[in-house]
């Protein structure tokens, strides 16, 4: 019995000695949307430099709160914080990767990319004013397409999320009725439909129930092979979600380092821009110099080497011009 105890204690001491070694660990938490790409980058980063990145997807709100309390090295948030709030909480902010929100449908006979919608129709569907799929407002956008006379079921996010924030910001900006009745935010009071938990919940529900419409992050739509709809953008063109349309949205976005890159890639002016795109952001606490240097080193590496894994997971890396702006921002704040 004594021998076993001695053996176990020796093993524990040896283990802790090796673990207390010089391994660099970066702790981050926040948005669940970019979690897969951060973890893919962390794996590669560990293989090349040996430093470890710990990322927990607890939600954007959690990420914002924890970095303000300085319990993390960096926080991740799908919705950007306004410059006033960043100043008030002494934070820095920069974008990491770009995604888009995609409306998904399940209507018999309609395949991926076939159904065309515009902001007005989308808004009225989610307000519960369009209750039948073959309503004129939908049929007029899809001349020649057979749409069955069935009732619309709206699926929204039952939990608070950055996806909802981006989607409701789009509806608020393009539709005064939505703005006055519902508003925008990570969690809103949806006037119609039922809630699914998480992107997975909404995707699963739309996939197996007929005559439904929902909204998910592009990565989920792509990987689950869901039927997405085309949207009419500000330039008047119908666009399908994809890397090229997201990239055009990112190019025409107004990322200003002086405003800590606070911008929504909603309804941007590009000819072929996807109207519901958004960047996901990293938040740093100004006082944590060491943590910030580590984090910036990681993201610098990710900007240089992480494009391929990001694209594999259906995330759009930042355009080169934006990456350079972010690097300049780091330099201006003494982190590089």
Partner 1 sequence: MPIIQKRDPADFIFSVVTAIASLTVIVLIIGIFTVLVRESSLSIRTFGVIKFLTSTDWNPVTNSFGAATTIYGTFVTTFLALLIAIPVAIGIAIFVTEIAPNFLKSPIGIAIELLAAIPSIIYGMWGLFTLAPLMAKYVEPALQKSIGKLPLLGILFQGTPMGIDLFTASVILSIMIIPFTASISRDSFNLTPSVVKESAYAIGATQWEVVKNVVLPYSKLGVFGGIALSLGRALGETMAVAFVLGNNHQITTSLYDAAATITVSLANEFTEADTDLYLSSLFYLALVLFVMSFIILAIAKFFLLKAEKRYSR
Query: 148 Cβ partners below 8 Å, 6+ apart?
Result: 107, 108, 109, 133, 134, 211
Q: Is 132 exposed, middle or buried (0-12, 13-18, 19+ CB in 10 A)?
A: middle
Nearer to partner 1, 204 or 292 (CB): 204
Instruction: Find out whether 92 and 100 touch, Cβ atoms under 8 Å.
Output: no
C-beta closer to partner 1: residue 187 or 235: 187
Name the minimum Å distance from CB 62 to partner 1: 4
Going 257 to 263 to 265 to 267, the CA torsion angle's sign is negative
Report angle CA 257, 73, 187 to the nearest 5 degrees.
Answer: 70
Task: Name which of 60 and 295 has its Cβ closer to partner 1.
Answer: 60
Smallest gap from Cβ 182 to partner 1, in A, equals 7
Q: 63 with 82: CB under 8 angstroms?
A: no
Nearer to partner 1, 29 or 279 (CB): 29
Shortest Cβ distance from residue 196 to partner 1 (Å)? 7
Q: How far is the CB of 160 from partner 1 (least distance, A)?
A: 3
| Residue nearer to partner 1 on the CB measure, 24 or 200 | 200
CB 48 within 8 A of CB 76: no
Q: Rounded to 5 degrees, what angle do the CA atoms 31, 35, 37 make?
A: 135
Say if CB 145 and CB 114 are below 8 A apart: yes
Decide whether 264 or 274 has the Cβ nearer to partner 1.
264
Within the chain, residue ranges assigned H as helices are 2-19, 35-49, 60-68, 83-89, 119-127, 136-139, 162-174, 176-181, 198-208, 218-223, 243-251, 289-305, 307-312, 320-332
Separation of alpha carbons 94 and 276, rounded Å: 19
Considering beta carbons, is residue 65 or 336 the nearer one to partner 1?
A: 65
Q: Smallest gap, in angstroms, from Cβ of residue 191 to partner 1? A: 11
Q: Residue 154: which residues within 8 A CB-CB, separation 6 or more?
A: 125, 126, 128, 190, 192, 193, 194, 212, 213, 214
**Min. distance of Cβ 200 from partner 1 in angstroms?**
9
Provide the binding-site residues for partner 1, judged by CB under 8 A. Answer: 58-62, 64, 151, 153, 158-161, 182-189, 194-197, 201, 204-205, 208-209
Q: Indicate the residue among 64 and 199 with the shorter CB distance to partner 1.
A: 64
Q: How far is the CB of 47 from partner 1 (least distance, A)?
A: 30
Query: Do you know the residue count of the chain?
Result: 336
Q: What Å distances lie between residue 132 and 125, 190, 213, 330, CA to CA?
A: 9, 18, 12, 51
Q: With respect to partner 1, which residue has the nearer C-beta, 3 or 189?
A: 189
Q: Which residue has the tokens 């709160």?
A: 65
Q: DSSP state, 318?
A: P
From the CB of 309, what's the least distance to partner 1, in Å?
26
Q: Residue 61 CB, nearest distance to partner 1 (Å)?
A: 4
């Amino acid at each position: 019995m004594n021998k076993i105890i001695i053996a176990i204690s020796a093993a524990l001491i040896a283990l802790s000695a090796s673990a207390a070694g010089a391994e660099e660990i970066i702790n981050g938490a926040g948005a669940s949307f970019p979690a897969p790409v951060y973890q893919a980058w962390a794996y590669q980063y560990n293989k090349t430099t040996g430093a470890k990145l710990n990322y927990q997807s607890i939600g954007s709100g959690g990420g914002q709160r924890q970095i303000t309390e300085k319990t993390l090295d960096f926080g991740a948030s799908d919705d950007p914080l306004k410059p006033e709030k960043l100043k008030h909480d002494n934070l820095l902010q920069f974008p990491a990767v770009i995604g888009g929100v995609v409306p998904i449908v399940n209507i018999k006979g309609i395949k991926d990319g076939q159904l065309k919608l515009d902001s007005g129709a989308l808004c009225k569907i989610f307000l519960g004013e369009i209750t039948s799929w073959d309503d004129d407002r939908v049929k007029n956008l899809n001349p020649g397409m057979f749409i069955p006379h069935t009732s619309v079921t709206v699926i929204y996010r039952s939990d608070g999320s950055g996806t909802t924030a981006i989607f409701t910001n789009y509806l608020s900006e393009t539709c005064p009725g939505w703005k006055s009745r519902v508003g925008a935010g990570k969690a809103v009071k949806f006037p119609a439909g039922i809630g699914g938990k998480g992107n997975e919940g909404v995707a699963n529900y739309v996939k197996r129930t007929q005559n439904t419409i929902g909204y998910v992050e592009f990565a989920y739509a792509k990987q689950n092979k869901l039927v997405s709809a085309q949207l009419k953008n500000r330039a008047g063109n119908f666009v399908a979600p994809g890397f090229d349309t997201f990239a055009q949205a990112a190019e025409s976005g107004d990322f200003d380092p002086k405003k800590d890159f606070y911008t929504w890639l909603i309804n941007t002016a590009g000819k072929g821009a996807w109207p519901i795109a958004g960047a996901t952001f990293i938040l740093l606490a100004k006082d944590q110099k060491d943590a910030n240097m580590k984090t910036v080193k990681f993201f610098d590496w990710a900007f240089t080497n992480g494009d391929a894994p990001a694209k594999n997971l259906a995330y759009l890396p930042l355009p080169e011009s934006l990456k350079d702006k972010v690097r300049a921002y780091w330099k201006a704040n003494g982190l590089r």
